[in-house]
C-alpha cells in the first residue's frame, strides 16, 4: 500500500501467535494515537496452517485503524510443525524462520513504493532485523514480555556457563541484576531442557537480542520494573556497555471492545453481582488443564463459596498449551468433562463459559474482585491496569517467571500451590488461596498494592508519562532523522 510523501512508513514483522500479534499491533495503534496521520504501518504476519480465524481474532483485525495494513503470508507446512509434540516456542520459531524469504520479498517491495523508515520485529522473529540492515533503516525488536524476562535473555549465555545442571534441578535461587532471585524451575520453558532444540533456538534468539541494531522496545513501564530497567541501562550502549538501548513503552494492552457484541452474556451476569465479589478465572488464549486438574479446580471453586466467572473453558488435555494456535478444542457442552452435578450445584454461584470472554471489559467491571490467571504477560498488564489482584497459576512459556515477579517482587498476587508429585493443585489448596485473596488480611494488602500499581500504569501512558515520552521520542526520531544521521 503506497503512502503519501509526508507519511513515515513503519514495517512490523509479527509471528503466528495471536497474543503476540495483539501486543505489537496495539503498540502500533498507540504510535498512531500520538502521531495522528503522520505514520503508516504495515504489519507482516507469517501464519501456520493450524491457525484458526476465530471470530474474536477476525474482529480485532477488522477494527484496526485505516493506516495499519496487515499482510498475512502463506502458511508454511512441514512434518516438524505438524508434529503435535513440538512445543509452542519451536513451532513459532521454525515457522517464522521458514517465512523469512517471503518477509524479505515483502519488505523490499514496500521499500520500492514507500519511504520505509523503520523495521520492528517481534522478539520471536529477530532474524528479520537482517533485512533492516540490508535496507539501511532503523531496526528494533519488540519484546512483548517483562523486563525481567529480557534480563534472563541477556544473561542466558553466562547462566549457561555457570549453571551445570538443568535449571529446574538447581538447588538454590538464581540471581539476576536488578531483579528478585528466582528458582531455576521458574525460568521460561525454553530453558528447561538444555539438550533440546528449543533451548538451542532460545540461546540463538538471545544472542540476536544483544545485537539489535537500534534497540529493544519492551512492553513494560519504568515504574513497574525500575531496578531491572536500571540494571540493563547501566550496561547499555549509551554508557559504553554491551547491551543495546532498551525502551520501556508499556503497558501496551488491548484497547476498545474485544468482540462485536457490546454486552455479552458474561457482562450481563456480572452486572447483577455485588462490587468486588467475583473471581474471574481464565487460562488465556490457549491454556489447557488435565482432567484431574479441571475436577480439582471446579470443586475448589464450589467449596470456596465465592462467586466466580470461569471463561475460555477447554476440553481437558495433558499438554498445557494444547490449543495455543487454535480454538478448536472449545466445546458446546462442558457437562461431559466437569464433575457430575457441578453446574447445577453452582448455578447461583458462578457462570461457566466455553467461549471467549471480553477480558478487558471483564477486568474493568466493578464486580470483579480477583483474577485467577495463567500469568501471560498481556493478562498481567491488563490486571495491573485495572487494579485487580491475582492468583498466579502459570502453565507454560514464560508464565512461571511472570508468576514469580507478581507474587515475590510486586506482591500483587498469591500463587497456587501445586502438589509436585501429582502435578496438580488440589481443591483444598484452591479454596485456601481463593479465601486468602478474597477475604484475608494478606489479600487486603495485595489489593492496596495493586491499586498503587494501577495509578502508576495509567500515569506511564498519560501525556507526560514515562512510556508516552519514550514513544514520542522514538516517533520524532523516525520522522525527522534518516538512518545515515
Q: Give CA–CA dist 482/191, Å, rounded.
A: 39
179-to-133, 152, 390, 397, 442 alpha-carbon distances in Å:
33, 10, 20, 19, 23
Please name which of 267, 324, 278 lies closest in space to residue 305, comparing C-alpha atoms.
278
Of the residues 122, 186, 189, 327, only one is catalytic, namely 122
Q: What is the dihedral of CA 303, 309, 315, 321, to 10 degrees?
A: -110
Output the nine-digit C-alpha cell for 147: 523486563
- Phi and psi at residue 279, to the nearest 5°: -90, 120
316-to-19, 86, 322, 472 alpha-carbon distances in Å:
22, 19, 9, 45
- Phi and psi at residue 328, to the nearest 5°: -70, -15
Of the residues 20, 40, 374, 386, only one is catalytic, namely 20
Q: Give CA–CA dist 16/446, Å, rounded.
A: 35
Region of residue 284 (left: phi > 0; alpha: psi -120 to 50; beta: else): left
Contacts of 303 (CB under 8 A, 6+ apart): 427, 430, 431
DSSP assignment letter at 141? E
Contacts of 432 (CB under 8 A, 6+ apart): 417
Q: Which helix (H) or strand (E) holds 256?
A: none
Output the nine-digit C-alpha cell for 419: 502438589
Question: Is the sign of the CA dihedral 225, 414, 399, 288 positive or negative?
Answer: negative
Please name which of 339, 276, 330, 269 lies closest in space to residue 303, comparing C-alpha atoms.
339
Half-sphere CA count of 483, side-chain side, radius 13 A: 16
Residue 363's CB is within 10 A of a number of other CB atoms, namely 22
Alpha-carbon Rg of the chain, whole angstroms?
Answer: 22
Contact 289, 258 (CB under 8 A): no
Q: Give CA–CA dist 194/131, Å, rounded.
A: 30
Q: Give CA–CA dist 374/391, Å, rounded.
A: 9
Please name which of 348, 365, 352, 368 lies closest in space to residue 438, comparing C-alpha atoms.
368
Instruction: Give catalytic status of residue 20 as yes or no.
Output: yes
Contact 217, 247 (CB under 8 A): yes
Catalytically active residues, by annotation: 20, 122
Amino acid at each position: 500500500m503506497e503512502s503519501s510523501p509526508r507519511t513515515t512508513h513503519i514495517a512490523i514483522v509479527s509471528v503466528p501467535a495471536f497474543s503476540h500479534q495483539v501486543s505489537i499491533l496495539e503498540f502500533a495503534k498507540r504510535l498512531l494515537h500520538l502521531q495522528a496521520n503522520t505514520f503508516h504501518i504495515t504489519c507482516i504476519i507469517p501464519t501456520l496452517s493450524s491457525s484458526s480465524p476465530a471470530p474474536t481474532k477476525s474482529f480485532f483485525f477488522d477494527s484496526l485503524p485505516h493506516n495499519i495494513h496487515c499482510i498475512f503470508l502463506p502458511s508454511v507446512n512441514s512434518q516438524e510443525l505438524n508434529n503435535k509434540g513440538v512445543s509452542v516456542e519451536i513451532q513459532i520459531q521454525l515457522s517464522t524462520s521458514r517465512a523469512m524469504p517471503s518477509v524479505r520479498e515483502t519488505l523490499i517491495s514496500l521499500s520500492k513504493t514507500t519511504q520505509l523508515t523503520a523495521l520492528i520485529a517481534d522478539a520471536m522473529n529477530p532474524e528479520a532485523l537482517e533485512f533492516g540492515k540490508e535496507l539501511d533503516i532503523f531496526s528494533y525488536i519488540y519484546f512483548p514480555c517483562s523486563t525481567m524476562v529480557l534480563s534472563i535473555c541477556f544473561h542466558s549465555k553466562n547462566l549457561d556457563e555457570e549453571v551445570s545442571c538443568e535449571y529446574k534441578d538447581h538447588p538454590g535461587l538464581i540471581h539476576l541484576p536488578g531483579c528478585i532471585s528466582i528458582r531455576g524451575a521458574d525460568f521460561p520453558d525454553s530453558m528447561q531442557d538444555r539438550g533440546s532444540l528449543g533451548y538451542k533456538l532460545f540461546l540463538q534468539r538471545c544472542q540476536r537480542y544483544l545485537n539489535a541494531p537500534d534497540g529493544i522496545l519492551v512492553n513494560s513501564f519504568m515504574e513497574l520494573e525500575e531496578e531491572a530497567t536500571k540494571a540493563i541501562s547501566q550496561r547499555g550502549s549509551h554508557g559504553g556497555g554491551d547491551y543495546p538501548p532498551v525502551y520501556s513503552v508499556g503497558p501496551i494492552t488491548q484497547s476498545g471492545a474485544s468482540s462485536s457484541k457490546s454486552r455479552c452474556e458474561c457482562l450481563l451476569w456480572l452486572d447483577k453481582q455485588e462490587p468486588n465479589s467475583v473471581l474471574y478465572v481464565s487460562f488465556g488464549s490457549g491454556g489447557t488443564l488435565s482432567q484431574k486438574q479441571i475436577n480439582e479446580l471446579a470443586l475448589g471453586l464450589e467449596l470456596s463459596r465465592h462467586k466466580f466467572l470461569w471463561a475460555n473453558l477447554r476440553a481437558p488435555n495433558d499438554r498445557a498449551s494444547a490449543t495455543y494456535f487454535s480454538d478448536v478444542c472449545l466445546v458446546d457442552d462442558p457437562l461431559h468433562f466437569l464433575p457430575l452435578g457441578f453446574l447445577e450445584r453452582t448455578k447461583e454461584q458462578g457462570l461457566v463459559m466455553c467461549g471467549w470472554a471480553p477480558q478487558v471489559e471483564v477486568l474493568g467491571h466493578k464486580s470483579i474482585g480477583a483474577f485467577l490467571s495463567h500469568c501471560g504477560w498481556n493478562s498481567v498488564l491488563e490486571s495491573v491496569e485495572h487494579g485487580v489482584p491475582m492468583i498466579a497459576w502459570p502453565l507454560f512459556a514464560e508464565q512461571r517467571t511472570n508468576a514469580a515477579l507478581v507474587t515475590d517482587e510486586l506482591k500483587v498476587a498469591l500463587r497456587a500451590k501445586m502438589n509436585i508429585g501429582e502435578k496438580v493443585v488440589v481443591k483444598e489448596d484452591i479454596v485456601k488461596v481463593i479465601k486468602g485473596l478474597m477475604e484475608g488480611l494478606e489479600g487486603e494488602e495485595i489489593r492496596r498494592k495493586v491499586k498503587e500499581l494501577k495509578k502508576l500504569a495509567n500515569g506511564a501512558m498519560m501525556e507526560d508519562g514515562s512510556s508516552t515520552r519514550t514513544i514520542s521520542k522514538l516517533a520524532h526520531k523516525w520522522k525527522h532523522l534518516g538512518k545515515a544521521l
